[in-house]
Structure 1
Amino acid sequence: MRILVVDDEVVIRKGIIKLLEQFSKSITDIEEAKNGEEALLKIEARKPDIVITDIQMPVMNGLQLIESIRVRDPEMDVIILSGYAEFEYVQQALRHQVADYLLKPITQERLNEVMSKVLLKDPARWTSQMDVDSIRVMKDTVASLVKNVLAENRNEMERIVDDWSAYCRTYGFSWLELKQIMGHFQLSFRSELLLNLKQEAGETAPSLNQAATTADELFAVWKSYLASEIARVSERRAPRNKRIVEDVLAKIEKGYGDAGLNLQGLAEGCGVSAPYLSKIFREVMKKPITQHISEYRLEQARSRLKNEASAKINIVAEQCGFNDYPYFSKIFKKYFGISPLEYKEKNS
């Protein structure tokens, strides 16, 4: 991928180049120009995929540059730089169908977001070795990988990588083509993950593809990288997961008497999926959520039988979420080693 950065201030140009390199280590072909006139010469010579240009520049400003670019190449992606005081120029530039804009001072997060949107807008432009069908399969594969990385599902992640590997082999890509395609794959994956996380994706090696000399090594490297991303997502979520579990514990404490209290309802109440809640509850509490609900109800039932002399056992069972008295009696005895009736008589 070729990118041209245009700004009359050398410090800003170098800063943007550094941010681009941080966005993806696989972006290595970056040119720079100090004004629109110089930029046009480099566009003619190098034909960049993306132009990032300032608006206020001597000799030829950014708006004039964009107009000239549109005459030569209506499809070229242009990202404009602007200060808050120049936003009226941004509005003018938007009429020339620029891809997006960056307000100064430019942050890594905002540049990542803009670049991700540009790259994901039309993957076909970056994947000349692939036909429409293989591009569609790649997009679906990337989306599935991101989904399962976010779900921290390592087994499914590995299955998806294996399926993509098999597809590439069946398609008959050469080793060089495969490395180029996986370069696009890496950019697409990191861009998709970044937009979903709203935070920079984890660091990768300079290029995942450079670390391999065979297809088997290449996909093994990818599995290792994706496993590290899953671990990073899990670590990032740990404090949030603990808060969710604490919220669930409070809901169980308050609603244990409701026989309909279950995993699905608790998950919906916390705004997460049932499988995800089941997973994080087990990680934090070291036991399944259903076991905790049952144990909490039994402890409450025992307390009532001990402290409420007039309480009837079947009523206590219902008040603690057990509609089936024989079942309540059975698990009470299994948990405490004594039946509810024996326990009540012993503590009367």
Structure 2
Amino acid sequence: MKILIVDDEPLILRGLMKIVEEAAPPGTEVRAANNVSEALVVMQAYMPDVTVTDLNMPERNGFELIEEAREGGLCDQFIILTGYEDFDYVRRALRVGVVDYLLKPIDKSEIANLLAKIAEDLPPDSDSEYTVHAKRILLYMEGHYMQDLSLEHLADLMNLHPHYISRLFKKETGDNFVNHLNTLRIREAQKLLKACWHLPVNVVGQRVGFENKHYFTKVFKKYTGITPGAYREDGVTESTDGGDSC
């Protein structure tokens, strides 16, 4: 199991590292980050199974870390740590679906039991299993990229844990789920923009899975460097007959 601990106070972070290393199941790897920005960088390469994060940090807090990490498919299991015994924090933590909410100072036996439970729920990760599951998921995405896809949807469909799919994508494609899906959608949008001149840009976006025209334009520009309209203008000399493929 791989654990990431995030806290902006160095002394507390070292203490948390020591406690977690002693409490975690054998073979667990533990890494640390001092803030949200550093944590997100570490996650890109490390892909932790669970992140233990403080809530109250300068610039960006623990809730923002959870949101960005999940959007990027970097981690989907979080344990919240805070020194504030405030029901509003508890309520918000539960609303974003954290594994648990612990008050500082943490109890070693409590976190040991929690980490043991998380470890038991993690699926095996042999290379052969990764390959089989990767082929199934990538093939499904090729045929259903235009639908409302998410890690949770794929997890339910494939009977796998969302985090397992996150790790699978990183291992097999070198990318995360969101980037892979967007790349696939933009590739198909490029084909439609050049082959089907009569289709409005917003319809092209809808056909590849983007319901919102502005979001489609934003993502398209991020991945290609130009807007869908500009890309279409560049391909004006290509097929514009609006045939069966449109």
TM-score category (smaller protein) = 0.3 to 0.5
State TM-score, norm by structure 2: 0.47
State TM-score, norm by structure 1: 0.34
More helix by share: 1
Larger radius of gyration: 1
